Amino acid sequence: MRYIIPLFILSLFLGCSNGRRPAEKPSQSKQISKIKAKLPDSLQNLENLQVYSLQDQPYDTVTFQREQVFESSKEAIFDGYTGEIAVDEQNRVYIAVTKLGSVAVYVFSPEGEFITKFLREGRGPGEFIKISDILLQNNSLYVFGGSLQKVGIFNLKSHNRKHSITINTDSLTDKLSVLKADDLLSTNEGRLIVSFKGSTLFNPNMLSNKYYYEISKKGIVIDKPILKIPKTSFYKPNNRKTTHGTIRLPRSMPFSRNTLVSAGDSLLYSAWTEHFLIKVYDKSGNYRRAFYYPYEQAPLSVSEMPLGEARQKLIEEHPEKVPDTWPVIHNITADDEGRLWGQTITKSDSTYKGWVLNNQGKLLARFSWPGRRAERTPETPPLFKIKNGYLYTRERDISKGIDRIVKHKINFE
């Protein structure tokens, strides 16, 4: 396959060249005691909280070797834009591609060779208006279409539809009747865990929380949410219309705080991006523990950010909502080996700091990752999927005709 020059050089190094970085010598108990004394008030009474310090933990360095790209070719031209992806046990890659009037899932071999594509646009069985998410579980591919509020389950060998689930929210209370299924999180003993958000466009702050519910095989929403978490706060315009008569929409900002959620094999993780605090739940939503790292937030200078006219106007209308610092956490992702990967926002506008933790929060490795914090979209986390020792990310620059999935070999040194 013909390669295009990458946007970023992704083999980045952090730490000492001799591999595992040693822990420093200060007393661990004294160091942790100092950190606990400075905990934010909101965390002081949190049960089963483990506080860590970088000074008491050795860690490895992670490097990434760019190995394969999955993109349009003579054999398979993407009719739309790449969306979510899934990777099976044989490292075959499934890419959701969507545009107005066209949907498909493209299947590639681990070497980037096009195998097939399936799905079609429509409202009938096995048809979708838009692919919002895809998920692999139990030798089946789950395809979620937010427009039709349904999930299609497809056989991995034949790619034929097994059956479909139409999400039924009749069991929700009147207060939450504006909720709309937004994303798939995982499966849990035959049930799906699905996220819901408010469906009102002009009042996105009407419901201040995002909800995660289990869905039965018949699509019935279980009444009690597994998780109820604060969602991204939007800046709402004082006037809906401009002087030219165009509609002004509510918007988030690159520095907006939000909650991140990721699902591992048996655990759920959530993080409010204001702190380096990860909460751990089982898949029934029962809180188990949390872990915390002290982290110095980067100062925020709105005047230096290319926000565009619409966002600048919203900031002028709501200057009191603009924080002095960036959030701490950019993204978190659970992998298939019980580890949690995350990136934190740094003082650099072009680099995030990467962390690899075990499910108890212990630091395993660190890395650097390219990315412009000024271009963050808090309500839509970046694609960062780890499977079978590989990392899959997206590279996109529509003006240059670049829209592809990139596979990187993960190396611990």
297 neighbors 325 (Cβ within 8 angstroms)? yes
* Residue 203 three-state SS: coil
Q: Who contacts 58 (Cβ-Cβ below 8 Å, separation ≥6)?
A: 20, 21, 22, 23
- CA torsion angle for 23, 28, 33, 36 (degrees, to 10)? 40
**321: Cα separation from own chain's centroid:** 24
Q: Any idea what DSSP says for residue 23?
A: P
Q: For residues 281 and 287, is the Cβ–Cβ distance under 8 A? A: yes
- Residue by residue, pLDDT tens for the chain (413 residues) are 444 434 343 443 333 334 556 554 455 555 556 666 567 777 888 999 999 988 878 999 999 999 999 999 999 999 999 999 999 999 999 999 999 999 999 999 999 999 999 999 999 988 999 999 999 988 899 999 999 999 999 999 999 999 999 998 887 766 666 788 999 998 876 678 999 988 776 776 677 889 999 998 888 888 789 999 998 888 999 888 877 778 888 999 999 999 999 998 889 999 999 999 999 999 999 999 999 999 999 999 998 888 988 999 999 999 999 999 999 999 999 999 999 999 999 999 999 999 999 999 999 999 999 999 999 999 888 999 999 999 999 999 999 999 999 999 999 99
The pLDDT of residue 12 is 38
At 236, list the tokens. 């709402």
What is the structure's pLDDT at 71? 95
pLDDT of residue 189: 67
Sign of CA dihedral 209, 214, 216, 217: positive
Q: For residue 116, give both structure tokens.
A: 């097939």
Confidence at residue 16, expressed as pLDDT on a 0 to 100 scale: 37
Report the C-alpha gap between 355 and 62 in whole angstroms: 9
Torsion of CA 244, 247, 250, 255, to 10 degrees: -50
Q: 190, exposed or middle or buried, with CB in 10 Å at 0-12, 13-18, 19+?
A: exposed
**pTM for the full model?**
0.89
Q: What is the pLDDT of residue 174?
A: 60
* Owner of token pair 């429509």: 122
Q: What totals of helices (H) and strands (E) does the chain contain, helices first?
A: 2, 27
Q: Give which of 311, 185, 313, 320 is closest to 259, Cα–Cα.
A: 185
Alpha carbons 330 and 377: distance in angstroms, whole number? 10
Which pLDDT score, from 0 to 100, does residue 9 have?
38
CA–CA distance, 304 with 347 (Å, rounded to integer) = 13
d(CA 187, CA 189): 7
Q: CA–CA distance from 172 to each of 161, 224, 275 (Å)?
A: 29, 9, 32
Distance of CA 104 to the CA centre of its chain: 22
Residue position matching structure tokens 């000024």: 374
